[in-house]
Structure formats: structure tokens, C-alpha cells
Amino acid sequence: MSNNKLNIKPAADCRFDLVSLGEVMIRLDPGETRIRTAREFKVWEGGGEYNVARGLRRCFGMRTALVSAFADNEIGRLAEDLILQGGVDMSFVKWMPYDGLGRTIRNGLNFTERGFGIRGAVGCPDRGLTAASQLKPGDIDWEHLFGTLGVRWFHTGGIYAALSDSTPDVVIEAVECARKHGTIVSYDLNYRPSLWKGIGGHEKAQQVNREIAKSVDVMIGNEEDFTACLGLEVEGVDENISNIDVEKFKQMIERAVKEFPNFMATGTTLREVHSATVNDWSAVVWCDGNFYESQAFPKLEILDRVGGGDSFASGLIYGFLTSGDPERAVNYGAAHGALAMTTPGDTTMVTVQEVEKVMSGGGARVVR
């Protein structure tokens, strides 16, 4: 088993604490009603990889940037306005000319129901031909970003890798350049069957993700992600993933780090769904041959589960960046993810003080 330690570059040597590569969509949220009966939508921005950069910036006060692309029209500029409100640097975002119709290039929309009780959350993305999915190797000056400016941590994931034939190559180009310059690379497997369905399904997902996994330092995902993307089965888990034996899960992670000895750490959320609004929630980190379990949040009441895993990732990364301690990292991740699911939208609305209060056992009494 690997005995590597995360060797994170000093903040003083780098322009950014974290940079994310991924697509950002406009999220249209019907609130308490359904997409099919909505008369108005609330507007947020969201994207699996971007949400991590925004969480680190807004909750944890770190310097973050986004690598992405938008069609230069009113929807793209709406996304820009939302991203800038979150404080994430957009210097490495490419603006592509809009053709007036979206025949060749456009911006993604994501209609998302939060779900309630026995009615699960529903996502209905509209993201064909998006600008971010059309990025190709050579489009981004990674050498300038990682070599000249300096980045402590680079994050991307399996949603972006699934968007087109070229996005896996962009991910590989990015992670190889990051590693060359001593930047820690994290990757959230984030398996979405709907994204892979039309481009080779399960088999293609495994082929792409197993190739990328060879260049990843910190692998993040839930139990379904590790199985679907890397072909690593968890014994005794049914197809609804209704009952997870943490020990069996740990055995799977031990197989993963033998197969990918480059993994310095893995981070995993464990979620048992009682209903859309009540989940058991916790997390496990493997690092340096040891497992670290977070505090558990049994019967956690949820307002909006979308983005909970991304908020786990940003808390986990913050813990590693600031302390290097896997136990602190897993608890920052679990607490931040739990709190982020109590507010609407993909992105966090909480403070580091609130996260640390939950980590220290603080309750939900009124603060006045």
C-alpha cells in the first residue's frame, strides 16, 4: 500500500490555492414545485468541479480560479455575473463567439428539482454543444498556469470528462502538466449514467476514468462511483445502495490503492437515503495506509442535496491545505457537505465558523 504523503506547495509560492476545470451551467430551480408545472424558476450557477472552487473561496476564504468556456451571449454573461459574485477568478475562462442560434456553440442549462419525502431529486440538463465541452488540448496555457503562476491544488472530475470526445484529453493534458509542476491533483469520479449513455455507456466510463486515475493524487467519489468508474465492487451492496457496510467499503478502497499506487488519499461520502429529505450522511478518508471516519450525521434533514458531495470535496481539500491532517480534512468535508445541503442551490452559503461549530459538536440552537 502507498506510503506517500501529500506534499503541498507553500501558499507564498503560488498565485492560486486551487484551480478547477469543468463546465458551469445555469441552474433553474422551480423551488417547491416541479419542473413540469413551474411558472417561475430561481437562477443559480453550478457545476461539479466549479462548486469546489467556489466553496473554497466563499466558505473557506482561499484563492481559487476556474478553467472553462462560455458562448459569449447574455446567458454566458449571466453565468459570469454569478461566478464573480462567488469570488472565483475567471482569467482562464475562454469566451467563444455565439452564432445567434446555438447551432455550433451554446451555454448549458440545468433544470433541477430538489425532491421531497418519497419524491427524489430530479435533474434535467440541457447541455448539448456547450462551449466547455468543446475545449480541446492546446486551448489552455497550462504551462503558464501551473509553471509560471503556480497552483497548490488542481481539481477536476468525471462529469467534465464525460461531456465530449475531447474533454478526457483536456483533463489528461491538465493533470499531467499539474503533476509536472508539483501541484496536487484531485478528481471526483461523479458518475452520471445519463452523460455516458450516448457515448459508450459503462464501458467507456471505465476506460476513460481508469486512464485518468493513473495521474490522480486524491481520488474522491461515493461507493457507486468507484464501482461504476473504476470497476471496483463493494461486496454486499444492493443496486439501490440502501445499506453500506463500511468495512466492506474499506476493503474496496484497499484494492483501489493497490491497483493505483499513485493515490495518496481517497475521500468518500457515505449516504443512506431514507427519503429525499432525510439521509444518513458521513465520510471516510484513506491516507497513508490508514482510514479516518468523520463524525456521523444520522437522519440529516436536507433542503437541497445537489452539491453536497462537492461541498464535501471543498471542505476535505481545505483541511488538507491548512493542516495536512486527514482526520481534520474528513471532518471539514463531512460538516461542510452536511451544512451545504440545508440551503438551496448547488453552492455553499455557510461560513467556516459554522462548519467548525458543527465539527465541535455545536447544535442548531438560535444564535443571537
pLDDT tens per residue across span 335-349 = 999 999 999 999 999
Whether 178 shows a pLDDT value over 80: the answer reads yes
pLDDT of res. 243: 60
pLDDT of res. 1: 37
Rounded average pLDDT over 79-91? 98
- pLDDT, tens digit (0-9, with 9 covering 90-100), for 274-290: 999 999 999 999 999 99
pLDDT of res. 240: 52
Whether 3 shows a pLDDT value over 60: the answer reads no
Whether 223 shows a pLDDT value over 90: the answer reads no
pLDDT of res. 127: 95
Q: State the residue for C-alpha cell 411558472.
A: 39
Q: Cell for 353?
A: 465558523
Rounded average pLDDT over 203-228? 95
pLDDT of res. 294: 97
Dihedral, 336, 337, 342, 347 alpha carbons, nearest 10 = 90
Q: Which residue has the higher pLDDT, 160 or 362?
A: 160
> Where residue 2 falls among pLDDT bands split at 50, 70, 90?
very low
pLDDT of res. 233: 87
- pLDDT, tens digit (0-9, with 9 covering 90-100), for 240-287: 555 667 888 899 999 999 999 999 999 999 999 999 999 999 999 999
Nearest to 348 by CA among 334, 337, 359, 363: 337
> Where residue 139 falls among pLDDT bands split at 50, 70, 90?
very high
Please write down the HEC assignment for all residues of the chain.
Answer: CCCCCCCCCCHHHCCEEEEEECCCEEEEECCCCCHHHCCCCEEEEECCCHHHHHHHHHCCCCCEEEEEEEECCHHHHHHHHHHHHCCCEEEEEEEECCCCCCCCCECCEEEEECCECCECCEEEEECCCECHHHCCCCCCCHHHHHHHHCEEEEEEEHHHHCCCCCHHHHHHHHHHHHHHCCCEEEEECCCCHHHHHHHCHHHHHHHHHHHHHCCCCEEECCHHHHHHHHCCCCCCCCCCCCCCCHHHHHHHHHHHHHHCCCCCEEEEEEEEEEECCEEEEEEEEEECCEEEECCCEEEEECCCCCCHHHHHHHHHHHHHHHHCCHHHHHHHHHHHHHHHCCCCCCCCCCCHHHHHHHHCCCCCCCCC
Rounded average pLDDT over 14-29? 98
pLDDT of res. 364: 60
